[in-house]
Chains A and B, each alone.
Chain A
Amino acid sequence: MKGVLFLAFIALLAGLSIFSVIELHSLYFAMHSFIGELGVVMLLIFTLLITLRYLGLMLFSMLNNIRRTARRHKPNRDYPKVSIIVPAYNEDVVIQKSLISIMEQTYPRLEIIVVDDGSADATFVKAKQLEYDNGVSSLKVLRKPNGGKAKALNYGMEHSSGELIMVVDADSKLSDDAIERMVPYFDDIRVAAVAGSVYVSNRINTLTRLQALEYIEGLNMARNGQAFFKLVSIIPGPIGVFRKTALQEVGGYDSDTFAEDADLTLKLIAAGYRIDFEPEAFAYTEAPDSLLDLLKQRYRWTRGILQSLAKHKSMMLHVMRRPKISLVLWYMFFESILWPFMDVLGALFFIYVSYTSGTSAFIFYWWLLFTLLDLAGALYCVLTTRESLSLTWYAIFYRLYFISVINVSKIFATIEEWMNLKMDWGKLNRKGNL
């Protein structure tokens, strides 16, 4: 019944989308200048790309789900030792909740290593209270002078003895079988890393609920779609498992970008490894609950991804020689630069059209098309995960308000990165809503 309803809704959305595209197409004939015609052509190309992006990711995500459920992993006869590295800097509000969720994992052979990166609060003391060693698994706390997340992760890796390295942010909480679900992927020796799903834990206001929708639709669904090709573009900070030998081969984490997770994933793909995704391994993370904190986070993400892109840009043109890394880099370029710019330029174009020739219905069709795509994506994600159906309706506000504000901020961050302006990490203050 759920499936039939979903198909009927998708058919309705598809019909409305086609209608919107036809209406947008007729905008071309309403233009009387070359600039206007060029604007419409660019807009239509962009709309086509976005539509293909949504439908493609949904399709591949669906195919990946089918393939994943059809595959049966062999039960682990010998559990490879997993070293979990938790880098922490001023995380005393959340560190214990995070560590307890790791200690409660169903996976037996764990080595938990907390790296206190020179915290000025009680992070070290609070983590130290949980230290243990029972011969099979252990938790130890290391301390080093502040040097940034990448150095803290490398430091933890140097002190680890597991074959697999799991990285968990200190502000994240894991589902109890997360590691057990992720480890079997490493039976395939070509797999270097596996990402898990990230969910928002603090759904306390509209902003955090919109982020909850963004995480399941924009991040988790995208990763599930990318996993069909074993090319997940970013292993998220809150939950990722790596093969230690692969990490050592590519030199571990680098400190020259503010998105060390994106940079490392790109290095692994460039080295020819596969990157997979386990949607049923969850990490719950605390999302920024105020707009300015959210902009602070997105500013760092945008500039960090742009730095990673710039670092690996030479491989973008190796389409024939290194198609996988080239494809991933072009995808990231589209998502992080082209999309925000085209979205805002499109809105400005419609404002211009409305100003010069009266309020036009085209702006409504433009919004309708993208909102329908968001609704379809949200509905798909809600039905394929354990999310609440009520989250779907936030898709309307997502397009109308949330994404435009984020895109404006991304554009400014891109310009600042292009101008090479100085930046710092932009640490968020935790509220403890894990």
Chain B
Amino acid sequence: MDLIAFMSMVILIITILTLSFGVVAYFLYKLREKRAKKQQQVTYEELREESGDDFIFFEK
């Protein structure tokens, strides 16, 4: 196998892996942001659910 053919194969494999990785990384980023936002926007009902239906009193 000559060097150019070998390098072409290497670049091809890396290109496929990198593009796939780029897509996966982007969706991981979106997922992380979605989770972070959800944690920030927790509703009163969700808080009650987490605390086992005990009433929660907020202090000012």
* A contact residues vs B (CB 8 Å cutoff): 291-292, 295-296, 299, 344, 347-348, 350-351, 354, 359-364, 367, 400-401, 404-409, 412, 426
Contacts and interface: CB of A to CB of B under 8 A. Distances in A.
Interface of B: 4-5, 7-9, 11-12, 14-16, 18-19, 21-23, 25-26, 28-29, 32-33
Nearest to A346: B15
Most chain A CB inside 10 Å of its own CB: which residue of B5, B15, B16: B15
Contacts of A400: 11, 14, 18
Contact of A404 (B8, B22, B28): B22
A292 B9 contact: no
Contact of A295 (B5, B11, B18, B26): B26
Contacts of B8: 359-364
A89 to B, nearest CB: 15
A351 B15 CA distance: 8
A405 B24 CA distance: 10
Given A359-B8, A364-B4, A364-B7, A347 B28 contact: no
Contacts of A351: 12, 15-16
B23 to A, nearest CB: 6
B4 A407 contact: no
A292 B15 contact: no
B4 A295 contact: no
Given A351-B15, A362-B8, A406-B22, 20 more contacts: A292-B25, A292-B28, A299-B29, A344-B19, A347-B15, A350-B12, A351-B16, A354-B12, A359-B5, A359-B8, A359-B9, A361-B4, A361-B8, A363-B15, A364-B7, A364-B8, A400-B14, A404-B22, A408-B25, A409-B29
Given A350-B15, A364-B4, A292 B29 contact: yes
B14 to A, nearest CB: 6
A364 B23 CA distance: 22
Nearest to B27: A412
A295 to B, nearest CB: 4
Nearest to B30: A412
Nearest to A364: B8
A67 B14 CA distance: 42
Given A296-B29, A360-B8, A361-B8, A401 B14 contact: yes
A259 B18 CA distance: 28
Contacts of A362: 8
25 contacts: A292-B29, A296-B29, A296-B33, A344-B19, A350-B12, A350-B15, A351-B15, A354-B12, A361-B5, A361-B8, A362-B8, A363-B11, A363-B12, A400-B11, A401-B18, A404-B18, A404-B22, A405-B22, A405-B25, A407-B22, A408-B19, A408-B22, A408-B26, A412-B26, A426-B33
B33 to A, nearest CB: 7
A296 B33 CA distance: 9
